[in-house]
């Protein structure tokens, strides 16, 4: 009877990381990170003051030019998606290397 070795913890961790990255990518593709994008806009731009009132840049852009807001949000997400896709590919390459090491050992 041949005993199969369980995948290493490192292998299982990589699988989990890939799964989490793929979920993050899906969330970005569905624009489920509006708060994150708003925070990004607000950190990169000064508050807008009109008289004694103060508004966040994200709030102003969203209400004054929703099309520009949506285009910017899409571009922001595209950049993050590209980074995640590269990270997924790197993790898959690590998995491949681990699998090759396992096959060499057996």
The predicted pLDDT at position 60 comes to 97
The predicted pLDDT at position 31 comes to 87
Q: Which residues pair with 49 in a beta bridge?
A: 54
Q: Which of 31, 28, 35 is nearest to 56 (CA)?
A: 35
What does the DSSP assignment read for 60-76?
A: HHHHH-HHHHHHHHHHH
The predicted pLDDT at position 3 comes to 44
* CA triple 5-10-14, angle to 5 deg: 115
Predicted model pTM: 0.75
The predicted pLDDT at position 10 comes to 85
Confidence tier at 2 by pLDDT (50, 70, 90): very low
15-70, pLDDT tens digit by residue? 999 999 999 999 999 989 999 999 999 999 999 999 999 999 999 999 999 999 99
More confident residue, 81 or 3: 81
86-97, pLDDT tens digit by residue? 999 999 999 888
SS3 content of the chain, % helix, strand, coil (to 5): 75, 5, 20
């Amino acid at each position: 009877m041949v005993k199969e070795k369980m995948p290493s913890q490192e292998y299982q961790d990589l699988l989990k990381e890939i799964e989490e990255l793929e979920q993050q990518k899906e969330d970005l593709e569905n624009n489920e990170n509006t708060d994150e994008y708003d925070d990004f806009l607000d950190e990169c731009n000064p508050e807008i003051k009109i008289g004694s009132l103060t508004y966040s840049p994200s709030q102003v852009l969203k209400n004054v030019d929703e099309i520009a807001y949506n285009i910017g949000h899409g571009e922001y997400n595209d950049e993050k998606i590209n980074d995640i896709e590269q990270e997924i590919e790197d993790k898959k390459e690590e998995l491949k290397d681990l699998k090759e090491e396992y096959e060499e050992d057996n």
